[in-house]
Structure 1
Amino acid sequence: MRLFQLSIEQLFICLFIIFTVLVGYFVHSLTKTGAIAAAIVGFFVASGFGINGLLLLGSFFVSSSLLSKFKATQKVSLSQIVEKGERRDWQQVFANGGVAAVASLLFFYTESMLFHMTFLIVVASSNADTWASEIGALSKQKPLTIKGLQKVEKGTSGAVSLLGTVAAFLGALFIAIVALFLFKGIDGKVMIFIMLFGFLGSVIDTLFGAFLQVTYKCRKCGLITEKKQHCDRETKQISGFSIVNNDVVNFLSGLIAAAAGSTIYFMSEFI
């Protein structure tokens, strides 16, 4: 009887994942490769945290997708700066969900709170960064780059605005609150850890975006962009490292914040 119940649960989870990625594809939130990658991440997360893990991951994906479409006409100019559009490809999916997937698999084998915290913080970090980007783009003021404190165009990596910073904090808090309701053993202390280190991930993302991420300059119009081509011409690299694009920055910032937060929390349990 237990085996039958387990198989029914597994079937439901499989259908839930497939349905979710298909909806994401048909509403243009995911590309074909993004949908496949999202399904892989979903199955890994389900292996460790079941339907609750998927619901937490879904909270990030759904809220981020809705925000990307919110007042989209005011964000049209961003397409000239950012490398990719609102449809997530496999690289974007793994950049935001890869660490969460691995943490879920490790939790499946160990059931260690270390990997549980890693999962929760990296999702909070991804959500904080995405909310900062999507909501910050609606600021009436141009953001300031932390590298030189100069006003730059909205969408520029390594730039901050008050609205975007508040959005990042709220994005991390949102995931922390969802986790509080979904998982047993998540109390106020854990929620604060998730929120603080999720927000820290967004801060690290900004720092890496300013000092490490590759940027280019259009040879025709002079626009600073993440694109390798602009105005039908190859752009000129002016800063950063060529291998460090936005996906790499997202992956590293989430990984560092999650590793730091989960390690500190794990060690604090023995003090």
Structure 2
Amino acid sequence: MLESIVIFIFILITALAGYFFRLLTLSGSIAAFIVGAATGWGFGFYGLLVLGFFFASSSFWSKFKSHRKETFEKKHAKGSRRDWQQVAANGGIAAIASIFHLLIPSPVWLIAFLIGLAAANSDTWASEIGSLSQKPPISLRTWKPAETGTSGAVSILGTIAALSGSFTIALLSFMLFSVSLYEVMLIGIFGFAGNLIDSILGAFFQAEYKCLVCNESVEKTEHCGQPASLVKGRRFADNDFVNFCSGLASASVGILLYILLT
């Protein structure tokens, strides 16, 4: 009982701090509390530490050299403050796995939880660090240089960051949970795979618009005060949708392989 109260207070303070320091919107703060509560009750304080590391590191890289990312952020529908959709897209898989573990305890849900966060961390580090690359990224759709911040475009720096983000979560998992080296590799590899799936979906499926005023390619439905024209992908497939789907795909395949090989 006491542990549950401590977890509740810790999550509440963290969610409020995210709003106070302008890392989260109000809806994002509420969503972060819900994800944190599910994680805390499903995987305890260690689960919260992994979730907290993801949130802290992604917030740090989002703010790191933010003045150089102003043009990059203008392409996207949302700024650096995360709303409930962004929180759900990145932490939703972890929350779902936590709830399943609470209802039906199994190491399978722990692996799904860790892969989900590894995929989210991999994608976030790739986007935030990769946007600082001196060379333009390469589009996976055209195999030609693209503007920095274009969904579905990759760079060497971003790929290295993606690997680092995924395996950092994997190593943290090894330190906190009773996972084997095989499971560490599984978490790291499928976390990175989540970033690759995200890039592929971003290149071929995610919605992209063209501003009818300034002719810029953006991910917003409106730009320069006017509705933008859809030029690629599906309208419902925004960045949050793609993030959630890529995390779900990598976690699902990862736990399937885990079940087959254990």
Deviating above 3 A after TM superposition, structure 1's stretches of 4 or more consecutive aligned residues are: none
Give the greater-gyration-radius structure (CA). Answer: 1
Contact 2:151-2:202 at 8 Å conserved across structures: yes
Q: Which of the residues 206, 218, 229 maps onto 2:211?
A: 218
Confirm or deny: 8 A CA contact 1:113 1:266 kept in the other structure: no
Match runs of 1:45-56 below 5 Å: 45-56=39-50
1:133 is the counterpart of 2:127: yes
Match of 1:230 among 216, 223, 243: 223
* 1:197 and 2:190 are equivalent in the alignment: yes
Alignment of 1:42-191 (within 5 A): 42-184=36-178, 186-191=179-184
* CA distance in 2: counterparts of 1:149 and 1:267, whole angstroms: 36
Comparing 131-140 and 106-115, the one that deviates more:
106-115
SS, match of residue 138 in structure 1: coil
* Counterparts of 1:222 and 1:151, CA distance in 2: 18
Give me the identity figure in percent: 45
Alignment-derived partner of residue 17 in structure 1: 11
Give the counterpart letter for 2:247 in structure 1.
G
Distance 1:79 1:254 in 2: 22
**Superposition deviation, residue 152 in structure 1:** 1.3
Amino acid at match of 1:216: Y
| One-letter amino acid of the structure 2 residue matched with residue 171 of structure 1 | G
C-alpha separation between the residues in 2 aligned to 1:80 and 1:110?
43
1:142-170: per-residue Cα shift (whole Å, max 9, x none)? Answer: 11110011111111100000000000000
The residue number in structure 1 matching 2:257 is 264
Preserved contact between residue 142 and residue 152 of structure 1 (Cα < 8 Å)? yes
* 2: CA distance, partners of 1:138 / 1:26: 27
Gaps of 5+ in 2: none
What displacement does 1:79 show? 2.1
1:118 counterpart SS class: helix
Q: Which residue of 1 aligns with 2:234?
A: 241
Distance in 1 (CA, whole Å) between partners of 2:32 and 2:155 is: 30
Whether the aligned pair in 1 keeps the contact of 2:205 and 2:234 (CA below 8 Å) is yes
Residue 109 of structure 1: CA displacement? 1.9
Deviations 1:14-48 (A, max 9, x none): 11101111111111110000000000011111111
Task: Tell me if the contact between 1:45 and 1:104 (Cα under 8 Å) persists in the aligned partners.
Answer: yes
How big is the alpha-carbon RMSD for the aligned residues of Structure 1 and Structure 2?
A: 0.7
Q: 1:123-151: CA deviations, max 9, x gaps?
A: 00000000000000000011111001111
Paired residue type of 1:84: K
Q: Secondary structure at the match of 2:230?
A: strand
Q: How far is 1:232 from its partner?
A: 1.5
Mapped contact 1:146–1:159 kept (Cα < 8 A): yes
Q: Tell me the SS of whatever aligns to 1:238.
A: strand
CA distance in 1 between counterparts of 2:6 and 2:156 reads: 42
Q: Which amino acid aligns with 2:239?
A: N
Which one-letter code corresponds to 2:20 in the other structure? Answer: F
- For the Cα contact (< 8 Å) 2:27–2:84, is it kept in 1? yes
Whether contact under 8 Å (2:212, 2:226) holds in the other structure is: yes
Match of 2:21 among 27, 36, 42: 27
Please, what TM-score do these two structures have when normalized by structure 2?
0.99
**Structure 1 SS opposite 2:16:** helix
> Aligned AA for 1:130?
T
Structure 1: segments with no counterpart, 5+ residues: 1-6
How many Å separate the matches in 2 of 1:163 and 1:100? 27
Equivalent residue letter for 1:243: F
Tell me the residue number matched to 1:3.
Answer: none
